[in-house]
Structure 1
Amino acid sequence: MLVREAIGRTLHDLGVRTVFGVVGSGNFHFTDALVRAGARFVAARNEGGASVMADAYSRMSDEVAVLSLHQGCGYTNALTGIGEAAKSRTPLLVVTAEAPEPTSNFFIDQQAMAEALGAVALRVRSPRTALDDVTRAYELCARERRTVVLNVPIDVQDEPLPEGARAVARPAVGEPRPAAADVAAFARLLRSARRPVFVAGRGARTSGGREALIALAERSGALLATSAVARGLFHDQEWSIDVSGGFSTPLAAELIAGADLIVGWGCALNMWTMRHGRLIADDATVVQVDLERTAIGRVRPVDLGLWGSVAETAADTLDTLAALGEERATGYRTPATAARIAAEGSWKQVPYQDESTGSGAGGGTIDPRTLTVELDRLLPAERVVSVDSGNFLGYPSMYLDVPDHYGFCFTQAFQSVGLGLSTAIGAALAQPGRLPVAACGDGGFLMGISELETVVRLGLPMLVVVYNDSMYGAEVHHFGPEEPDLSTVTFPDTDIAAIARGYGCEALTVRTPEDLGPLKAWLAEPGGRPLVIDAKTASTEGAWWLKEAFGH
């Protein structure tokens, strides 16, 4: 058996069932071996799209996804997606061919590039170590939730696997738990808090995390919020105030800013989640719980840091409170607060001035809030929403409800425009029982449009909503008041519906809520062709979340 075949078989034996990529000469054989072992290969049209699909698939499936790449240019095409995954601590294994000789056209320092992105860089060092190298890379992804780039030199691939080659057995190491004294200190803070708020982030989207936080919050009287990336975690909870940060409703911002104790659970409490710190009162106590020790206090000072996983830390704290004989605290959970959450807890309950211009001879536009509220009413509850970056992104992120944290895929750690469509493909494959919804701006959609063919080829019943304002809205509204010439970030209107039909999709042009009528017929025929909505949206000013981000 050659090393290249052993790599594919070993990955399948370890549990890999889905691999994304674009196949070239350098990665053909180990990809083929993985597929022949039983894995599914998802062919993208560009390595950049493949890397984002793999990232999204891993997030929405809790599996280690594999990204297969050709050496050199295939690898560099994928770097933005790899950077997004690394920043998000996605368990993504990038298996890339590597040119070993500097004389090769494909030669670059792939290891240095991976490390610069924040990924772990490893290499298949020799035929004798090949199985161990592959196993070590997979285990780093699975156990430490890291993005790993495994370089496979072309010359090593073609060598025979020596007799006796094997992976070195490594004992499983449990996750850290906070010291008993730290847990006791945290319990005391919870006992004395009158207005506690829990903010759950990416680190809370783990086995048992949600249940443990709900139980501790009930005991301590805390309100439940999430970072944007963990949206949906507490969707069915009465005391949930949804997202903390730039996407917060006015009520959520008021309640979080009024908290006397804020606890970040697997959450960095960064500028986006805390509105540059404005959501933290000057006299509030801040606690941070995180599995990554260096993350504690990295963004802002905290009064108490607990190094451990969310589920175990919350469970230990609940046990400590029980041992102290404490009764359930009222905390923030008063009848008055409950009434306000019921009346004001959703963006759909916040009044706004509809800026739709209707339709006419010269064409009209629809307010993105009006569009998204109507979509939320029409679409089935079982959905998985993926959003691109841009001025529009707050509307689908906050006006479209999601059933749980597997219903919202938010690839925004790198904040790159153009990832939305590929994100939706990966999420759709991970959650096949739900309607996949891709929300994109016109700029981001056109950047990643090659993957629309992938949507059609895979037969995904996807709804793609393009918020088309014919501009890079974030830049227009950020610089508009001061810059008279915005020609570099504005464009003629593009008939996105016509382009989508050319790819084999159904398509609608929407300027009024009534234009969404055909969507009902499309929804009534599951398994049909993808539908692209070219929504001509009003865009008279920057979205509220942009004002929060740049107006501090």
Structure 2
Amino acid sequence: MKVAEAVGRALVAAGVGQVFGVVGSGNFHVTNAMVAAGARFVATRHEGGAATMADAYARVRGTVAAVSVHQGCGLTNALTGIGEAAKSRTPLIVVAAEASQPGSNFRVDQEGLARALGAGSARVTSAADAVAQTYAAVRTAVQERRTVVLNLPLDVQARESPDPDRALAAVVPPPPRSAVEPAEADVAALAELLARAERPVLLAGRGARGPGCRQALEALAESCGALLATSAVAHGLFQGNPWSLDVSGGFSSPLAAELLQGADVVVAWGCSLTMWTTRHGRLIGPDTTLVQVDDDPAALGTHRPVHLGVTGDVLLTADRTRTALGGRGGRGHRTPDTAAALAARLRWRDIPYEDEGTRERIDPRTLSIALDDILPAQRVIGVDSGNFMGHPTMYLSVPDEQGLCFTQAFQSIGLGLATTIGAALARPDRLAVAALGDGGTLMSAVELDTVRRLGLPMVIVVYNDDAYGAEVHHFGPDGFPLGTVEFPPTDIAAVARGYGFEAVTVRTPDDLKPVRDWVEGARTAPLLVDAKVVRERGSWWLEEAFRGH
């Protein structure tokens, strides 16, 4: 058995069951070995798409996934997707062939590239150690929640693996990351703060999406009268709870922002408190006591100074804090007036607005509300970046914390389609909905072929304003020329039909009837909705995002 085959088999034995990639000469044998060992391989049209699909799959499925790339250019093509995964702490293995000869035109500093992106780097250095080194890379990805680039030098891949059956027999999936025990003194201090709080809010992030976390946080909130909120990446965690404020940050509704700013204690659970989640700090009142709970001590206070930092697992810390609280909590925000306000004014769709649609272009709010009514409730949504992104994120409801895959840590456009493909494969029981801008759609259009080839019954909604809308609305009011960020109209529906999609162009609400027909029909082909949206003004979240820059 060659080392390439031993590495592929070791990856699968270690728990990697899904791999995405573009196969070239350098990663041909290792990828085929993974398939032979039982992994599912999805061939993409670009390595950037492969990396983002693997990232999204791992996030939604809650398991480690892999992306397989050719040496040199294959890896560099994937860098944006790898950077997004690394910034998001996604457990991911990048199986990267590596040029061995110093004079090879494929040779680049692959270890240095990984470091520059914040990813871990590992290398298979010998035939004797290949299986152990591969397993160590997977263990690092799982237990440290890291994206790891596993470099496979071509000369090492071609060597004979000594006694591979014995080495592979010892490989099993690594145990999950151990739950970090919070210090008793920290739990007592947090319980004391919540006992005295009059208007507490519990704010949950990505680290609170694990099994049992919702129940633990809801029980703690009930005991101290707290309202509940999430960061964008945890959207849907408290779906259906009458005391939920939904998302904190630029996507917050006016009522949610008002209640967040009025809190006297905010406790962030597995939430990094970035400028997006706090609106550059403006959602945290000047007299608010801010607490952060995270199982990584390096995360505490990184983005916002905190009054109390608790190193601990979210579930353990919430349960022990509730015990320490011992019934001392008050009613907090949980009053009849607050309940009535939340029921009537929390959702963006319940806030009156003047429809700015014309016969040629539809208001994105009207579009999103109509789609929310048409599409089935059991959905998983992937959202690209751009001026439009707040509309699908906050007007399209999700059933739970697995209903939105939000690859926005790098804020790159062009990742939304691949994100949704990965999420669709992770949750085949739900309708996958990709919400994209026209710029991101055209940047990633090659992966329309992947959707069609996989037979995914996906809906792609393009909020098409024929521009890079964020730049138009940021620079346009100051009189700067916009020719570099505006484009002639593109018939994206026609492009989609060329890939084998059903497609519809939407300019008014009446044009959405074919979408309803598709949802109620056999869904034998994926559907793309080319929605020509109004472009006269920036969205509310964009104004928040650029404020303070």
TM-score band, normalised by shorter chain: over 0.9
Match of 1:515 in 2: 511
Whether contact under 8 Å (1:440, 1:465) holds in the other structure is yes
Match of 1:361 in 2: none
Task: Using the TM superposition, give the Cα deviation of residue 329 of structure 1 relative to its aligned residue in structure 2, in angstroms.
Answer: 2.5
Match of 1:397 in 2: 393
Check 1:213–1:435 CA distance in 2 against 1; reply closer, same or farther (3 A cut).
same
CA deviations 1:110-156 (Å, max 9, x no partner) are: 01110110111111121111111111111112222111111111111
CA deviations 1:431-487 (Å, max 9, x no partner) are: 101110000000010000000000000000010000010000000000001134211
Check 1:168–1:469 CA distance in 2 against 1; reply closer, same or farther (3 A cut).
closer
Match of 2:364 in 1: 368
Which letter maps to 2:333? Y
Match of 1:380 in 2: 376
3-state secondary structure, aligned to 1:549:
helix
Q: Please give the alpha-carbon distance, in whole angstroms, between the structure 1 residues aligned to 2:368 and 2:421.
A: 21
Task: Map 1:399-414 onto structure 2 (within 5 A).
Answer: 399-414=395-410
Percent identity (aligned): 61
TM-score of the superposed pair, with normalisation by structure 1: 0.97
Q: Please give the alpha-carbon distance, in whole angstroms, between the structure 1 residues aligned to 2:102 and 2:349.
A: 58
Whether contact under 8 Å (2:227, 2:243) holds in the other structure is yes
Q: Please give the alpha-carbon distance, in whole angstroms, between the structure 2 residues aligned to 1:12 and 1:148.
A: 16
Note the aligned Cα RMSD (angstroms). Answer: 1.4
Match of 1:93 in 2: 93
3-state secondary structure, aligned to 2:505:
strand
Check 1:478–1:40 CA distance in 2 against 1; reply closer, same or farther (3 A cut).
same
Q: Please give the alpha-carbon distance, in whole angstroms, between the structure 2 residues aligned to 1:101 and 1:333.
A: 67
Q: Please give the alpha-carbon distance, in whole angstroms, between the structure 1 residues aligned to 2:181 and 2:279.
A: 30
3-state secondary structure, aligned to 2:376:
coil
Q: Please give the alpha-carbon distance, in whole angstroms, between the structure 2 residues aligned to 1:140 and 1:223.
A: 36
Task: Using the TM superposition, give the Cα deviation of residue 327 of structure 1 relative to its aligned residue in structure 2, in angstroms.
Answer: 4.6
Whether contact under 8 Å (1:129, 1:165) holds in the other structure is no
Match of 1:495 in 2: 491
Work out which of the residue numbers 283, 291, 305 in structure 2 matches 1:279: 283
Task: Map 1:180-259 onto structure 2 (within 5 A).
Answer: 180-259=184-263
CA deviations 1:68-107 (Å, max 9, x no partner) are: 1111000000000000000000111111111122211110
Match of 1:332 in 2: 333
Which letter maps to 1:227? S
Q: Please give the alpha-carbon distance, in whole angstroms, between the structure 1 residues aligned to 2:177 and 2:341.
A: 45
Whether contact under 8 Å (2:416, 2:435) holds in the other structure is yes
Whether contact under 8 Å (1:262, 1:284) holds in the other structure is yes
Q: Please give the alpha-carbon distance, in whole angstroms, between the structure 2 residues aligned to 1:171 and 1:204.
A: 19
Q: Please give the alpha-carbon distance, in whole angstroms, between the structure 1 residues aligned to 2:480 and 2:108.
A: 43
Q: Please give the alpha-carbon distance, in whole angstroms, between the structure 2 residues aligned to 1:304 and 1:236.
A: 30
Q: Please give the alpha-carbon distance, in whole angstroms, between the structure 1 residues aligned to 2:542 and 2:521.
A: 38
3-state secondary structure, aligned to 1:301:
coil
Work out which of the residue numbers 298, 311, 331 in structure 2 matches 1:294: 298
- Asked if residue 530 in structure 1 is aligned to residue 531 in structure 2, the reply is no
3-state secondary structure, aligned to 2:477:
coil
Q: Please give the alpha-carbon distance, in whole angstroms, between the structure 2 residues aligned to 1:347 and 1:251.
A: 10
Which letter maps to 1:377? D
Task: Using the TM superposition, give the Cα deviation of residue 159 of structure 1 relative to its aligned residue in structure 2, in angstroms.
Answer: 0.8
Q: Please give the alpha-carbon distance, in whole angstroms, between the structure 2 residues aligned to 1:531 and 1:338.
A: 39
- Asked if residue 177 in structure 1 is aligned to residue 178 in structure 2, the reply is no
Whether contact under 8 Å (2:194, 2:329) holds in the other structure is no
TM-score of the superposed pair, with normalisation by structure 2: 0.97
Match of 1:144 in 2: 144
- Asked if residue 306 in structure 1 is aligned to residue 310 in structure 2, the reply is yes
Which letter maps to 1:271? M
Whether contact under 8 Å (2:203, 2:230) holds in the other structure is yes
Match of 2:73 in 1: 73
Which letter maps to 2:21? G
Match of 2:274 in 1: 270
Whether contact under 8 Å (2:2, 2:161) holds in the other structure is yes
Task: Map 1:102-121 onto structure 2 (within 5 A).
Answer: 102-121=102-121
Match of 1:63 in 2: 63
Most deviating of 2-11 and 173-182: 173-182
Task: Using the TM superposition, give the Cα deviation of residue 526 of structure 1 relative to its aligned residue in structure 2, in angstroms.
Answer: 3.7
Q: Please give the alpha-carbon distance, in whole angstroms, between the structure 1 residues aligned to 2:33 and 2:304.
A: 47
CA deviations 1:164-196 (Å, max 9, x no partner) are: 657699998733222101110000000000000
Match of 1:419 in 2: 415
Which letter maps to 1:44? T
Which letter maps to 1:305? G
Task: Using the TM superposition, give the Cα deviation of residue 315 of structure 1 relative to its aligned residue in structure 2, in angstroms.
Answer: 1.2
Q: Please give the alpha-carbon distance, in whole angstroms, between the structure 2 residues aligned to 1:311 and 1:153.
A: 42
Task: Map 1:429-440 onto structure 2 (within 5 A).
Answer: 429-440=425-436
Q: Please give the alpha-carbon distance, in whole angstroms, between the structure 1 residues aligned to 2:148 and 2:217.
A: 30
CA deviations 1:491-539 (Å, max 9, x no partner) are: 1110111111111101000001110001121112244101111100001
Q: Please give the alpha-carbon distance, in whole angstroms, between the structure 2 residues aligned to 1:482 and 1:49.
A: 36
Whether contact under 8 Å (1:128, 1:165) holds in the other structure is no
Match of 1:42 in 2: 42
What are the ranges of 5 or more consecutive residues in structure 2 without an aligned counterpart?
none
CA deviations 1:260-283 (Å, max 9, x no partner) are: 001111111111000001011111
CA deviations 1:343-363 (Å, max 9, x no partner) are: 0110001111111012xxxxx
Check 1:238–1:173 CA distance in 2 against 1; reply closer, same or farther (3 A cut).
closer
Task: Using the TM superposition, give the Cα deviation of residue 309 of structure 1 relative to its aligned residue in structure 2, in angstroms.
Answer: 1.5
- Asked if residue 347 in structure 1 is aligned to residue 343 in structure 2, the reply is no
Aligned residues: 544
Q: Please give the alpha-carbon distance, in whole angstroms, between the structure 2 residues aligned to 1:39 and 1:112.
A: 29
Most deviating of 386-395 and 155-164: 155-164
Whether contact under 8 Å (1:460, 1:527) holds in the other structure is no
Which letter maps to 1:356? G
Whether contact under 8 Å (1:506, 1:532) holds in the other structure is yes
Whether contact under 8 Å (1:387, 1:393) holds in the other structure is yes
Task: Using the TM superposition, give the Cα deviation of residue 215 of structure 1 relative to its aligned residue in structure 2, in angstroms.
Answer: 1.1
Check 1:294–1:418 CA distance in 2 against 1; reply closer, same or farther (3 A cut).
same
Q: Please give the alpha-carbon distance, in whole angstroms, between the structure 2 residues aligned to 1:43 and 1:483.
A: 45
What are the ranges of 5 or more consecutive residues in structure 1 without an aligned counterpart?
359-363
